[in-house]
Chains A and B, each alone.
Chain A
Amino acid sequence: MSETIYTASPSPHIRSNITVKTIMRDVIIALMPALIVGIYFFKMNAVLVILTSVVSSVFAEWLWEKLTHKRITIGDLSAVVTGLLLAFNLPPTIPLWMVIVGAFFSIIVVKQFFGGIGQNFVNPALAGRAFLLASYSTAMTKWTVDGVTTATPLAILKTGKGTLPPITDLLIGNIGGCIGEISAIAILIGAAYLFYKKIISWEIPVTYIGTVLILTLLFGRNGFYEIFAGGLMLGAFFMATDYTTSPVTSKGKIIFGIGCGILTAVIRRFGPNPEGVSYSILIMNLFVPLIDRKTAPRIFGEVK
């Protein structure tokens, strides 16, 4: 018959205007309040760590894709998100070369070795942090506020040495800790934006934080204080909700959140280290394929 003039392609012929890039852009926007607080309290140190982390993450992704002749995907902004999250999980005084090592590890070993975006099975930023912690534990656990070495609230709780800062300091961010985790309020503002934009749903953060709260209270400690301490807020809203490394179904997300919560509370209470958020999420990441398999929704019209 006649010639082809118009594009013949399969339905549907319209798509929503949400893309991977707009999602990543929204996550970046949501990280801004925590970034500002981090820079406010840690000054130039924070600026340098964040810049180094983001630039080396993006560069690592570009370099790997260039060398392996893959499509360059840095335009989807996911490497920027990884870079920001890695920086947020590092102490402000960490030597910059370590940041570069961490970023390369996150992007190349954790993300690209497994096939790039969507394929990795653990959270790249958290795995990068865990790698640095294992390799350079001293630099990774040195906390300063205004140039004075301090202990994080959780470390004070663990060792019993020092005085705990009031909860208002935890909300504002006037405490020792990683760059992006110190201010609960800043993180919650960012999280509210993610909810509003429907980037994340309630299941993981609510069950995660709820489980930690309940268990900590059961352990006879001040749960309401501890949920604002350490990396829990940042982890629950920004790390555990990472699409690639969390379950896809609603039921699965609830199981995942509860699992993260149990692990975190137990590690904090019984483990050798004061904090357990990163390891909890990393461990639960490994269960995601299993959880997904077990929580497939009931098909419409299926009789069981």
Chain B
Amino acid sequence: MELLTFKKGIYPPHNKYLTEDKEIIDMLPKEELVIPMLQHTGAPAVPVVQKGDRVLKGQKIGEANGKISSNVHSPVSGTVESTKQIYTSFGKKTLALVIENDGKYEEVKYPEKRDYNSMAVDEIIEAIKEAGVVGLGGAVFPTYFKLMPPKGATIDTIIVNGAECEPYLTGDYRLMLEKTNELIEGLKILLKIFPNAKGYIAVENNKEKAYKALKDAAKNEKGIEVCYLKTKYPQGSEKHLIYAITKREVPSGKLPLDVHCIVQNVGTVISVYQAVVFGEPVISRVVTVSGDAVKEPKNLRVSFGTSFKDAIEECGGFKEEPVKILSGGPMMGISLSNLDYPVSKNVTGIVALTKKSTDLSDETSCIRCGRCIDACPMNLMPALLDNLSRLNRYDDFKEKGGMNCIECGCCSYVCPAKRHITQSIKKGKLNSKK
């Protein structure tokens, strides 16, 4: 079978064997949850409960503030104990509500099960918005907003991103296996919003079981095709996924909808299903807790507000001292300085790496080997951009296409001189915007 893919990219060891056969386990929330009002891209939600209030599981505690924002709900029943300023695992300062879990899990009353076929598009989108669904692949962009393209835009392709190309992470893989039908129903809901579009579910070929399960489940669905992708990093990048499937290139500075595509992650689509059919809000997510420092790596369903520390303890703690704790995978994840951060909607994985499996070597001079150029999926010249950024030559940086960098990390990964190319280009992008 021909595998779909893009040009260039890299093949890092995927290390998914640690958790790929581990079923998703619901982790019981702890006594205290610290729930950030900012768990998404955009403006933080505004708290709608106060200190001392009793809240129910699934109750809205933060209201979306503006167009690009999202509701936040409580994962447990209990009392709002206090509020405090914290840093999220994606480095933003935000207000958080501390909720004391009363252990009763009393839920708000959800609506009757709904048939999405008899719902209007507006109703569907409203349900998605109300439930606080955001992109669960890590980008946490409000989903409802992505589903409301500007007037005149035509969408002919909806892609469910099941590439999960980051090493270690297996949450989407498990979801595709364990929630196969929900995923397909979720995609059908999206296709109901865009009746002229075709649906694709894209899976990398290191997830054969998921591919087969989906293929089987979708065999009678006319508008849905399951695609097999070559296992290559960064196959899950929106632009590269679109290219692999449609051979369309998202033009520089443009969005997927400019090439008539919408891409949603596996977890997101399942949340859409739950939001639309059951009115269930997003109050937890699947987190792969893995890495060679973790005693028993697992796929956990973690309630938001649970600390990284508790999630790791749920996996038996550390068997070896880690040097890095990552929110997300090792290619694009963020390294955290301690374990006090709460799990929020962006946390695809918690990866704890020991000294031997991460790289802390110093950078040396570029030897002009060209490996970074051969790896860059955006076809840039990373060594050159690295240089221009370090020389603060931002006009040249822009002119050489620096703003197109997707920060995938391929260049730094392959560089034999261990140069921090991605970091330097990120800096260049930031400073060029000023």
Contact A8 B335 (CB under 8 A): yes
Enumerate chain A residues within 8 angstroms of B249, measured Cβ to Cβ. 300-301
Could you say which of B250, B323, B339, B416 contacts A7, with CB atoms under 8 Å apart?
B323
B372, chain A: closest CB distance, angstroms: 9
Contact partner, A13, options B243, B335, B377, B407, Cβ 8 Å: B335
Q: Which of A14, A19, A296 has the most CB of B within 10 A?
A: A14
A14 touches B413 (CB 8 A): yes
CB of B167 within 8 A of CB of A11, answer no
The reply to whether the CB of A146 lies closer than 8 angstroms to some CB of chain B is: no
A70 CA / B381 CA spacing, docked (Å): 28
A-side contacts of B220, CB under 8 Å: none
Closest to A5 in B: B338
Assess whether A14 is in contact with B422, with CB atoms less than 8 Å apart: no
Question: Which single member of A1, A14, A299 contacts B252 (CB below 8 Å)?
Answer: A299
Contact A300 B404 (CB under 8 A): yes
The minimal Cβ–Cβ distance linking B94 to chain A, given in whole angstroms, is 12
Chain A's closest residue to B249 (CB) is A301
What is the interface residue range for chain A against chain B?
Answer: 35 or more
List the A side residues contacting B332 at CB < 8 Å. 11-12
Q: Is the CB of A13 within 8 A of B365?
A: no
Q: B337's contact among A4, A18, A117, A302, by CB below 8 Å, is which?
A: A4
User: In the complex, A9→B325 CA distance in Å?
Assistant: 10
Nearest A-chain residue to B371, judged by Cβ? A18
CB distance from A200 to the nearest CB of B (A): 10
Instruction: Tell me the B398-434 residues at the A interface (CB within 8 Å).
Output: 400-401, 404, 407, 409, 412-418, 420, 422-423, 426
Q: Scoring A residues 292 to 304 as 1 if CB is less than 8 Å from chain B, else 0, what string do you get?
A: 0000111111110
Interface residues of B in 363-384 (CB under 8 A from A): 364-371, 373-374, 377-381, 383
The SS class assigned to the B binding surface is loop
Most buried by B among A3, A19, A300, A303: A300
Partner of A300, one of B333, B378, B409: B378
Cα–Cα, bound, A118→B371 (Å): 14
How many B residues touch A, CB cutoff 8 Å?
66
| A244 interface residue (CB < 8 Å to B) | yes
A300 cross-chain contacts in B, Cβ below 8 A: 239, 243, 249, 377-379, 404
CA distance A118 to B369 in the complex (A): 9
Asked if A16 and B12 sit within 8 Å, CB to CB, the answer is: yes
Selected from A16, A22, A249, the residue in CB contact (under 8 A) with B370 is: A249
Contact A302 B368, beta carbon cutoff 8 Å: no
B364 adjacent to A6 (CB under 8 Å): no
Give A189 Cβ to nearest chain B Cβ, in Å: 23
Contact A301 B251 (CB under 8 A): yes
Complex CA gap A20/B371 in Å reads: 12
Could you tell me if A116 and B365 are in contact, using CB atoms closer than 8 angstroms?
Answer: yes
* Pick from B87, B360, B400: contact of A9, CB under 8 Å: B360
Query: How far is A142 from B370 in the complex, measured between Cα atoms in Å?
Result: 38
Contact with B along A2-35 (1 / 0, CB 8 A): 1111111111111110111011000000000000
Q: Distance in Å from the Cβ of A65 to the closest Cβ of chain B?
A: 12
- B42 at interface by CB-CB < 8 Å: no
Are A15 and B324 in contact, with the CB atoms below 8 A?
A: no
C-beta contact mask, A263-304 vs B, less than 8 Å → 1, else 0?
000000000000000000000000000000000111111110
Contact (A12, B412) CB under 8 Å given A2-B338, A2-B340: yes
* Complex Cα spacing A13 to B422, Å: 11
Flag if A11 contacts B337 (CB, 8 Å). no
> Knowing A12-B331, A14-B330 touch, does A299 contact B404 (C-beta < 8 A)?
yes
| A12 with B409: CB separation less than 8 A | yes
- Kindly identify, within residues 3 to 41 of chain B, every residue whose CB is under 8 Å from any CB belonging to chain A: 10, 12
How far does the alpha carbon of A94 sit from the alpha carbon of B365 in the complex, in Å? 34
- Residues of A near B117 (CB, < 8 A) are none
B334 within 8 A of A: yes
> B410 → chain A, closest Cβ, in Å?
8
Answer whether residue A243 sits at the interface, using C-beta atoms and an 8 A cutoff. Answer: yes
With a CB–CB cut-off of 8 A, which chain B residues contact A96?
none
- Kindly state whether residue A76 has any CB partner on chain B within 8 Å: yes
Tell me if B322 counts as interface (CB < 8 A to partner A).
yes
Question: Could you tell me if B254 and A14 are in contact, using CB atoms closer than 8 angstroms?
Answer: no
- With a cutoff of 8 Å between Cβ atoms, the chain B residues found around residue A297 in the complex are 373, 379-381
In the assembled complex, 27 residue pairs joining A and B whose CB atoms fall closer than 8 Å, in A order, are A1-B87, A3-B337, A6-B323, A10-B426, A11-B332, A13-B335, A13-B353, A14-B330, A14-B359, A15-B418, A19-B417, A20-B417, A23-B369, A76-B364, A115-B365, A118-B368, A243-B368, A243-B369, A244-B368, A248-B383, A249-B370, A296-B400, A300-B249, A301-B252, A302-B251, A302-B401, A302-B404
| B-binding residues in A (CB < 8 A) | 1-16, 18-20, 22-23, 73, 76, 78, 115-119, 243-244, 246, 248-250, 296-303
Closest 8 CB pairs of A and B: A12-B409, A15-B359, A10-B423, A248-B370, A4-B337, A13-B330, A299-B401, A118-B365
Q: Kindly list 12 other residue pairs between chains A and B, CB separation below 8 angstroms, not including A13-B330, A13-B353, A115-B365.
A: A10-B422, A11-B332, A15-B359, A19-B361, A20-B364, A116-B365, A243-B369, A299-B404, A300-B239, A301-B249, A301-B378, A303-B252
